[in-house]
C-alpha cells in the first residue's frame, strides 16, 4: 500500500520527500490543507526546512493529496505513535531490536512474541518498520523486564532473523 502511495510521486522527487516525511511522522493533512498532528498545526515552512525543499513544494504536495480521493483518505486518517524506544531504559523497560534478513517475510513478530511470552515477560510495545518506507527495517520490542541472554540467543535463531540488539533498563 505505502509503495503505491510513494510511487504516485515518482516523477516529483521533492514532493516525494514531503510524502515520506508525512508517512514517517504520521502527520495528517486536514481538509483545509493544513498539515497537522492531532489538533496541532505544523507550518509548511517548518516541514520544508526539515527536508530541504521550498515551502511551495509542501503546498503543492498537500494540494495534490487533497485532489486524489485515495490520498486524501489516507492522509486524513493517519496517526502518529508515541514510540518508547529512546525513553524505555529510563522507564525501567528493555528494548530488543531485531534485524530481519527480509522484513517482508511473515511470522517474525509472532515467533518473537511467543518466545517472550513463554518466559513470562510482557511486551509493552512492538513497532515494526515498514519495509516499503524504510531502507533498513527492523522490529523493536519494548518489554517490562530485562531479557535474559538465552532468550536473545533463541530470538537470534529464528528463521529470517539476521541480528538482535538489546538495550536493558538502566
Residues 69 and 96 placed together within one structural domain of the fold = no
Residues 65 and 41 placed together within one structural domain of the fold = yes
Residues 120 and 56 placed together within one structural domain of the fold = no
- pTM (whole model) above 0.95: no
pLDDT tens per residue across span 94-128 = 999 999 998 888 899 999 999 999 999 999 999 99
Residues 70 and 36 placed together within one structural domain of the fold = yes
* pLDDT at res. 168: 64
pLDDT tens per residue across span 8-50 = 888 999 999 999 899 889 999 999 999 999 899 999 999 999 9
Q: What angle do CA 20, 9, 102 make, to 5 degrees?
A: 55
For position 117, which CATH number holds?
3.30.70.260
Q: Please, which residues bridge with residue 167 across strands?
A: 95
Domain count of the fold of the chain:
2
Residue after which a domain boundary falls, among 77, 112, 137: 77
Using alpha carbons, select from 88, 85, 65, 87 the residue that is nearest to residue 77: 65
Residues 96 and 65 placed together within one structural domain of the fold = no
Residues 14 and 73 placed together within one structural domain of the fold = yes
Instruction: Residue 31: give the domain boundaries.
Output: 2-77
Above 80 in pLDDT, residue 133?
A: no
Residues 116 and 158 placed together within one structural domain of the fold = yes
Estimate to the nearest angstrom the gap between the alpha carbon of 123 and the chain centroid. Answer: 18
1 band by pLDDT with thresholds 50, 70 and 90: low
Residue after which a domain boundary falls, among 77, 102, 119: 77
Q: Distance of CA 139 to CAs 44, 57, 76, 104, 124, Å?
A: 31, 32, 26, 12, 14
Residues 12 and 41 placed together within one structural domain of the fold = yes
DSSP state of 90: G
Residue after which a domain boundary falls, among 35, 52, 77: 77
Handedness of CA 158, 161, 164, 169 (dihedral sign): negative
Residues 66 and 100 placed together within one structural domain of the fold = no
Contacts 24+ apart (CB under 8 A), 6-10: 6/132, 6/133, 8/68, 8/71, 9/61
Amino acid at each position: 500500500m505505502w509503495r503505491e502511495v510513494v510511487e504516485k510521486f515518482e516523477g516529483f522527487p521533492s514532493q516525494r520527500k514531503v510524502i515520506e516525511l508525512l508517512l514517517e511522522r504520521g502527520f495528517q493533512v486536514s481538509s483545509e490543507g493544513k498539515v497537522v498532528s492531532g489538533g496541532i498545526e505544523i507550518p509548511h515552512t517548518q516541514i520544508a526546512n526539515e527536508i530541504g525543499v521550498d515551502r511551495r513544494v509542501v503546498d503543492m504536495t498537500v494540494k495534490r493529496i487533497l485532489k486524489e480521493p485515495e490520498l486524501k483518505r489516507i492522509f486524513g486518517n493517519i496517526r502518529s505513535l508515541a514510540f518508547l524506544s529512546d525513553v524505555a531504559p529510563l522507564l525501567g523497560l528493555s528494548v530488543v531490536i531485531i534485524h530481519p534478513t527480509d522484513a517482508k517475510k511473515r511470522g517474525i513478530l509472532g515467533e518473537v512474541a511467543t518466545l517472550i511470552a513463554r518466559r513470562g515477560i510482557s511486551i509493552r510495545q512492538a513497532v515494526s518498520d515498514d519495509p516499503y518506507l524504510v531502507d533498513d527495517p527492523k522490529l523493536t520490542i519494548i518489554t517490562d523486564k530485562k531479557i535474559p541472554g538465552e532468550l536473545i540467543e533463541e530470538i537470534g535463531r529464528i528463521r529470517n532473523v539476521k541480528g538482535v540488539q538489546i538495550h536493558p533498563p538502566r
